Amino acid sequence: MPAPGRSRAWVPWLLCTVGLALILLSLALRVGLGTSSRGSESPYFFFALPAVVAASLVGALLAARMPGNPYGWVWLAGALLLGVVGICTQLRRVDDVPYWAVVLVEDNAFRTVIALIILIFLLFPTGRLPSRRWRWLPLTTILFLLVTGGAAAFGPSRRDPVATTPWAITGEAGERWADVAEVGFVGLFLLEVAAVISLGVRFRRAGPLVRQQLKWFLLAAAIVGATILADAVDLRMGDGLWPYLNASSSVLIPIAVGIAVLRYRLFEIDRLISRTVSYAVLVAGLFAVYGLVVAVLLPRLGPLARASDLVVAAVTLAVAAVFGPVHRQVRDVVDRRFDRARYDASRAVEAFAARLRDQVDLGEVTTGLRQTVAATVAPTVVAVWLTEPSVHRSA
C-alpha cells in the first residue's frame, strides 16, 4: 500500500494546473477584451507573469516532495490567488459585471496574498516558526486580514468611489470603517517587515545548512528590494524602466526558494553573493563617477563645454580603462567579507606557489603541499605518493 503522502502527490500538481489555467485565462481576457473605459489595468501585467508561474511550479514541487510541510502549500495558495487577481483585473473592464463585486474580490485576494507573503518569510526554510515566541505574528496577520476585509466591505472606497459596495455604511460611521481599512492595510505591511526581521533572528540561531538556505533567499530578496527602492526614489532608466524591472525580478524569489529548500548546490551561494555584491558596488561607483563628471563638472568647464562630446568620450574611455583594476580590488575586499573560505584558500595556493619557485628540497615541498591541501580542501586524510624515477641504462 502506498504511503498516504505519496498517494496524494497528484494534488499539488492539480492545484498548480488550476493556477496556470487562471493565468492563461487572464491572458485570454487581456487579449479578448481590448480596451474599455471602465477600470484600469496594471502596466506590469506581463512582466509579473513569470513570477506567478514560478511560484505555482515551485509550490507544487515542494508540496509534492514534502506533503506534510505547509511551506509548499503556502506558495500554491499564493499563486492561485494571484491568478484570481489577474482575472479580476481584466473583469474590471467588462461592463456587464458589477464593478464593485470584482474590486471586492480582487482586493481581498490581494490582501490574502500579502498575508501569505508574511508566512513565506516567517516559515522559511523549515516550514516552522523560528520559535514559539513568534506565534503572535500569524495570529495577528489573520486578525488584520479579517478586519481589513470587513472594513473594505462595509465602508466607502476612497481610492475608487465606484467600487463602494451597495451595503456600505454612509456618514461618519462609514468614514470610520474606511479609516480602519486603510490602517489595517498599512498594518499588514508592518507585519511583513516583522516577518523579514524573523529571518535575521533565524539566521543568527541557525546551523550551517539553514544559513546557506537563508543566504539564497536573502540574496533574491535583496535584488528585488533594490529594484523597489530604485523605483521609489524615481531613478528612471528610459521610459520608466525600474517598475518593470521590479516586476520581472520578483521571479528570483520563488526560484531561490526552490533551490534552497531542495538543497541544490548550496555551497556556491557564498561565491554568488560575493560576485553580485562586487559587481554591484563596482558598477554603482563607476556610474557615480561618470555622472559626476558629465552632469556636474562638464557644465562648469566653460569654453570646454563646446567640446562636450569629446570630453564625454574621454570620460567613457577612462571608466572602461579602470574597470579591470578597480574590479580586482573590489572583488578582493568583498571576498574577504562574503566568501572568506574561498579567499583564504586562494591565498594559501598562491603562497605555496611562491615558495615552490625557490624550494628544491623534496621533503619541504611535500610538507608544503600537504599543508596547502589541508588548508584549502580540509580532507580527513592527506597522503602524498611519490614514485621513483626510472633509470635507463645503455647496453
Q: Which three cell numbers stand for residue 157?
A: 472606497
Residues 319 and 210 in one domain: no
Element (H, E) at 389: none
Structural domain includes residue 389: no
> Does the pLDDT value for residue 78 go beyond 80?
yes
Q: How far is CA 334 from the centre of its chain?
A: 21
* Among candidate residues 235, 262, 281, the one where a domain is terminated: 281
Structural domain includes residue 251: yes
Structural domain includes residue 388: no
Structural domain includes residue 393: no
3-class secondary-structure state, position 64: helix
Residues 171 and 301 in one domain: no
Q: What percent of the chain has pLDDT over 90?
A: 10
Q: What is the DSSP string of 99-139?
A: HHHHHHHHHHHHHHHHHHHHHHHHHTTTTS-SSGGGGHHHH
pTM of the model: 0.68
- Domain of 206, CATH number, reads 1.20.1070
Neighbours of 390 (CB within 10 A): 5
As a whole number, the mean pLDDT across the chain is 75
Contact residues for 125 (Cβ-Cβ < 8 A; gap 6+): 71, 210, 213, 214, 217, 257, 260, 261
Question: Rg of the chain's alpha carbons, rounded to an integer?
Answer: 29
The predicted-structure confidence for 293-345, as pLDDT tens digits, reads as follows 666 666 665 555 555 566 666 666 676 676 667 667 666 666 665 555 565 66
Q: How confident is the model at residue 81 (pLDDT cuts 50, 70, 90)?
A: very high
Task: For residues 338 and 295, give the distance between their C-alpha atoms in angstroms, rounded to a whole number.
Answer: 34
Residues 362 and 326 in one domain: no
**Strand ranges in 103-241 using DSSP code E only, listed in sequence order:** none
| Contacts for 209-215: CB closer than 8 Å, 24+ residues apart | 209/263, 209/266, 210/125, 210/126, 212/260, 212/266, 212/267, 212/269, 213/124, 213/125, 213/260, 213/261, 213/263, 213/266, 214/124, 214/125, 214/260, 215/269, 215/270, 215/273
Structural domain includes residue 394: no
Contact residues for 53 (Cβ-Cβ < 8 A; gap 6+): 20, 23
Q: Which three cell numbers stand for residue 314?
A: 574621454
Residues 43 and 151 in one domain: yes
Residues 260 and 297 in one domain: no
User: Could you identify the residue written with the cell 517598475?
Assistant: 243
pLDDT value for 295: 62
* Among candidate residues 266, 281, 296, the one where a domain is terminated: 281
Residues 313 and 365 in one domain: no
Residues 179 and 107 in one domain: yes
Residues 264 and 115 in one domain: yes
Contact residues for 134 (Cβ-Cβ < 8 A; gap 6+): 122, 198
Q: Which amino acid is at 300?
A: R
User: Could you identify the residue written with the cell 517587515?
Assistant: 193
Contact 369, 383 (CB under 8 A): no
The residue among 233 and 146 whose pLDDT is bigger is 146
Neighbours of 274 (CB within 10 A): 20
Task: For residues 138 and 122, give the distance between their C-alpha atoms in angstroms, rounded to a whole number.
Answer: 9
Contact residues for 253 (Cβ-Cβ < 8 A; gap 6+): 51, 217, 220, 221, 224
Query: Which CA distances in Å does 241 have to 46, 158, 222, 226, 354?
Result: 14, 29, 18, 13, 49
Structural domain includes residue 184: yes
pLDDT value for 316: 66
The predicted-structure confidence for 5-35, as pLDDT tens digits, reads as follows 455 778 898 999 998 898 888 888 877 776 5
pLDDT value for 395: 41
Q: What is the mean pLDDT of residues 92-112?
A: 86
Residues 216 and 140 in one domain: yes
The closest alpha carbon to 240, from 35, 50, 44, 90, belongs to 44
What range does the domain containing 272 cover?
4-281
Residues 256 and 348 in one domain: no
Contact residues for 76 (Cβ-Cβ < 8 A; gap 6+): 12, 15, 16, 19, 56, 59, 60, 63
Please give the tally of structural domains in the chain. Answer: 3
Residues 182 and 327 in one domain: no
The predicted-structure confidence for 131-190, as pLDDT tens digits, reads as follows 888 999 999 999 988 888 888 888 888 777 777 888 888 778 878 888 888 888 888 889
Structural domain includes residue 324: yes
Contact residues for 298 (Cβ-Cβ < 8 A; gap 6+): 304, 305, 308, 311, 312
DSSP single-letter state for residue 295: I
Structural domain includes residue 384: no
Residues 184 and 307 in one domain: no
